[in-house]
Structure 1
Amino acid sequence: MADCPSVTDAEHVTDTRYPQLPLPEPAAWKALLALCTGFFMILLDQTIVAVATPDFQEHLGADYNQVIWVTSVYLLTFAVPLLVTGRLGDRFGPKNVYCVGMVVFTLSSLWCGLSENVGQLIAARAVQGLGAALLTPQTMAVINRVFARERRGAAMGAWGATASLSTLTGPVLGGVITEYVGWEWIFFVNVPIGVLSVIAVMVWVPAIRTSSRRIDPLSVLLSMVSVFLLVFALQQGEKEHWTWWIWIMVAVAVLLFAAFVRQQVVAESAGRDPLMPLSLFEVRNFTLGNIGITAMGFAVASIPLPITMYYQQVHGLSPLGAGLMMIPQAATSLVLSPLVGRLSDRYSARRFGAFGFTVLAASIVGMTVVMSTGVSHYWTVVALVGLGVGNSFVWAPNSASTMRDLSPHQMGVGSGVYNQTRQLGSVLGTAGVGAVMQWRLTVTDPGSAFGQAILLAAGVILVGTVTSLMSRDTYGVSGDRRVPAGRDDRRADGRADTGTAR
């Protein structure tokens, strides 16, 4: 890769190895389809595992802590390297890194299914998380490069619909597989999808110019160690009763992150490529969008477990029955996401996002009321539809608004930062809601405990409402809206972008 022209010195030079970006519309949609196949598989894996957890706990003779680590180790190895893997896409090409990540994820899925004890399963899930970390940032980086500015909202809408489809398919498929085939097949199902994804990406996703600048190694070390310490401390805090050494880990993580930020300035001044250029955060919508997606990750990762446990432990539903109850949320989001994505290219993405975050918070409160009052669980359908509406109004508008004003050579690192903040939000949510749930289970009935636990997510999600309202409107389609002073609206091909912002 060393002989590839860098973004900085060859961005406007015609090179037959690299197609002109953005791609023509049909080619861009083919690339999106290929990438969404892998994105679908990752999300499908997470939802299937949640439904099948009680089954493999019984078959592998695992205790509660071991079961928690089947999920926690995946989140750990997924979250820790995301900044680095985003930059690897810039250095070696997002297409190449995506394919490597998909191969790792597929092979480790096979290993998960073949595991003979819970220790092997935890190890395989750790490798699986690493594969997911390699491929996830590349998806958004490619989408924001191959689509013209005025079509990125529509593309993100399709991306959000893929997430909804996996949410719809996962619980149902997981319930069917667990009850009628065996828990091993919740992992084996990834293998054919992974093979299909690699083939599609090789054929339909274009090669993209890479950067030849050397990434600062100290930045990599500081980033990974600080994130590891923080995530591990949050995951183990409740189990260890938040003892003194947990808080020491948190403090060290904060200090190392401060050193990491300082190192970005040093690396840039020395001519090395900073792992996370601080100039990214000079873009107002990028900063606010990352705060919003952290809140979204908090809610999305934390509320499914209390809800599915409520269905199974309070109302006696089977894993399949619990999965079927989640259909209204996923179906609503699946229908609305593409429409909202297209509309966010023409209208105010920030207002869409604020509406979505607010509906999510209100729906979680509604879910709490139903779960805590002992009424029929079928009343949760109303709240689940609200969750579907909120999801569809957050994913595409927030993603498009966050990434739209970045320059092409910032897309890889920007995607890495965006995905890492989302994953950190997921870890915080899992730890926070899990701690509240365990606390409330000791003092009240299970239905009330599960309902009260998710109220924490409702409070956090309102942060997204505030950040959406604070952001500036960005539009994909040109009109009479003015471009803010000082913003460079040149694309990688040297032509002026038609989109504007205010």
Structure 2
Amino acid sequence: MKPHALRTLVVTGIALFMVTLDNLIVTNALPAIREDLGTGLEGLEWTVNAYTLTFAVLLLPAAAIADRHGRRRLFMIGLALFTVASAAAALAPGIGTLIAARAVQGLGGAILAPLTLTLLAHAVPPARRAAALAAWSVMSGLGVALGPIVGGAVTEYATWEWIFWINVPTGLLVLGLAPRFLTESRGPAQRLDPLGTVLITLGLLGVVLGLVRGNGHGWTSPQVLGAEIVGLILLAAFLVHEARTPHPMLPLTLFRSRGFTLMNLINLAMCFGMFGVTFLLIQFLQMIGHMSPLEAGVRTLPWTAMPLLVAPLTALLTVRLGTRPVIALALLFQAVGLAWLAIRLSPTFSYADLVPGFVLAGIGMGLFFPPVTRLVLGFAPPTQTGVASGVSNVSRQLGTLLGVAALGAVFSATGDMTNPHHYANGVTTVLWTAAAVLTAAALSTLAVPQLTPSTTSTPTSEPTPTPTPQSAPTT
């Protein structure tokens, strides 16, 4: 690999590792944040969802802005935002400030994550691109696997604020290297869709606000019902606007393909079920299982690290079984894993009883993402593979966002954090709900059309990369 390409790999790899590490590093700190800032489940949900919401809705606009104004320039802006927001989160005196800082972090992450792959692909010759992309994937996987451990260790031996402080020197280092190590590049100039961005942001905010506050304030209370109604109206307005504007943020013509639509719904359902569970389960291990933050991180490795081992096998399985059967099998592995956890979970659970469930869920995640990406791109027109990949990334983020909010509502309706039995009852119901969603997603693969060579897209432009780890939740 040429020196310039190697330097680009170093800078983008460090930035990607920082963003992916931050996805899971927060989860093990949530109990400490809850105690220190005196917040409840709603505040913790927004600590996660503020990041995911801005990440999801700004992915596509950020990519368009980078193509127009310069990828290296926007990469540095995103990195600066992420770094400053990390410092603000570390200094947060209350939960409101922390949530605001997390939202800005999500903005920085939405800019950074796709550009790490775009800049790398532009710097590396086609003959070496496969090796460079493999290294990119390894950095993402390492961030996922180490996130819970690093977060647990930092929270246990320092304070939760340091899970954000560690981003500051890393961000400053990369900001110093980027002007010398990265080459400026641009893509085809694209028209922006500011109205569409505002409509989907406010619409999702209203829906999530209603889901988060429903149990505490009453599902028919004016603030909850009003938030849901306004959110749905704004989302409907977003769809109408996207259908009429000549330069949509989300080209609805892509969804004329039944295969593309179904695969994105399956993608969303998978993240809804799996990643919505993680938010509560890791807290359960610490608060009811009396595990330290580090211990909880280490003991979730059978879940978070398993995809690194399994993902390389998906190509062989896809050749032998076909793409759709592998996706269905992956979803069933996840559903069975969560069902196992639901059966075994209790206030007096044994960790050894949970390990098979963690392993099954991790295997399912490792098998899921590579074939799903292939099908999503395969059902898109060759000229729109970059946008199609971006839509797939957004569907994952929306699945996580809605999963944390909706499954948090299920937990609040069936349990609470006041005593171990109530906590176990709530998490068990959440696990069964998520397993049902994943089973339904597995069955829906039967309706996905067969992908034939004539419908397989050959990318003609740089794809928008997966902005978050393909094997872990964005929490």
TM bracket (short chain): 0.7 to 0.9
Question: Structure 2 vs 1, CA of residues 306 and 212 (structure 1 numbering), >3 Å: closer, same or farther?
Answer: closer
Could you tell me how far apart the structure 1 residues matched to 2:447 and 2:126 are?
A: 22
Tell me which residue corresponds to 1:425. 399
- The answer to whether the aligner puts 1:219 opposite 2:193 as a matched pair is no
What is the CA-CA distance between 1:92 and the residue it aligns to? 3.5
- Amino acid across the alignment from 1:236: R
Tell me which residue corresponds to 2:231. 253
Question: Structure 2 vs 1, CA of residues 120 and 103 (structure 1 numbering), >3 Å: closer, same or farther?
Answer: same
Tell me which residue corresponds to 1:182. 159
What is the CA-CA distance between 1:490 and the residue it aligns to? 7.5
Could you tell me how far apart the structure 2 residues matched to 1:400 and 1:275 are?
A: 22
- Amino acid across the alignment from 1:166: G
Tell me which residue corresponds to 2:64. 87
Larger Rg: 1
Equivalent pair of 1:437/1:449 in contact (CA under 8 Å): yes
Tell me which residue corresponds to 1:483. 454
- The answer to whether the aligner puts 1:332 opposite 2:332 as a matched pair is no
Tell me which residue corresponds to 1:382. 356
Question: Structure 2 vs 1, CA of residues 72 and 164 (structure 1 numbering), >3 Å: closer, same or farther?
Answer: same
Question: Structure 2 vs 1, CA of residues 143 and 230 (structure 1 numbering), >3 Å: closer, same or farther?
Answer: farther
Equivalent pair of 1:154/1:338 in contact (CA under 8 Å): no
Equivalent pair of 2:212/2:406 in contact (CA under 8 Å): no
Q: Normalising by structure 1, report the TM-score.
A: 0.78
* Structure-to-structure mapping, 1:411-450, within 5 angstroms: 411-441=385-415, 445-450=422-427
Alignment equivalent of 1:127, drawn from 104, 109, 114: 104
What is the CA-CA distance between 1:154 and the residue it aligns to? 9.0
Question: Structure 2 vs 1, CA of residues 468 and 347 (structure 1 numbering), >3 Å: closer, same or farther?
Answer: same
What is the CA-CA distance between 1:141 and the residue it aligns to? 6.3
Question: Structure 2 vs 1, CA of residues 265 and 99 (structure 1 numbering), >3 Å: closer, same or farther?
Answer: same
Alignment equivalent of 1:309, drawn from 283, 287, 290: 283
Tell me how large the CA RMSD over aligned residues is: 3.8
Question: Structure 2 vs 1, CA of residues 314 and 360 (structure 1 numbering), >3 Å: closer, same or farther?
Answer: same
> Any idea what the Cα deviations from partners look like across 1:279-337, whole Å, max 9, x if unmatched?
22234443222112211221233112332233223332222221121011222212222
Structure 2, unpaired ranges of 5+ = 463-475
Alignment equivalent of 1:410, drawn from 384, 390, 393: 384
Equivalent pair of 2:45/2:405 in contact (CA under 8 Å): no
Higher helix share: 2
What is the CA-CA distance between 1:372 and the residue it aligns to? 4.0
Question: Structure 2 vs 1, CA of residues 278 and 247 (structure 1 numbering), >3 Å: closer, same or farther?
Answer: same
* Structure-to-structure mapping, 1:233-382, within 5 angstroms: 233-242=210-219, 243-268=221-246, 273-340=247-314, 348-372=322-346, 374-382=348-356
Partner of 2:345, secondary structure, is helix
Structure 1, unpaired ranges of 5+ = 1-23, 475-480, 494-502
Could you tell me how far apart the structure 2 residues matched to 1:173 and 1:162 are?
A: 15
Could you tell me how far apart the structure 2 residues matched to 1:298 and 1:31 are?
A: 34
Could you tell me how far apart the structure 2 residues matched to 1:48 and 1:55 are?
A: 13
Could you tell me how far apart the structure 2 residues matched to 1:29 and 1:335 are?
A: 26
Q: Which moved more, 1:232-241 or 1:204-213?
A: 204-213
Could you tell me how far apart the structure 2 residues matched to 1:284 and 1:451 are?
A: 34
- Amino acid across the alignment from 1:131: G
Partner of 2:189, secondary structure, is coil
Aligned length: 458
Question: Structure 2 vs 1, CA of residues 349 and 61 (structure 1 numbering), >3 Å: closer, same or farther?
Answer: same
- The answer to whether the aligner puts 1:111 opposite 2:84 as a matched pair is no
Tell me which residue corresponds to 1:230. 207
- Amino acid across the alignment from 2:322: S
Equivalent pair of 1:349/1:397 in contact (CA under 8 Å): yes
Tell me which residue corresponds to 1:478. none
What is the CA-CA distance between 1:356 and the residue it aligns to? 0.9
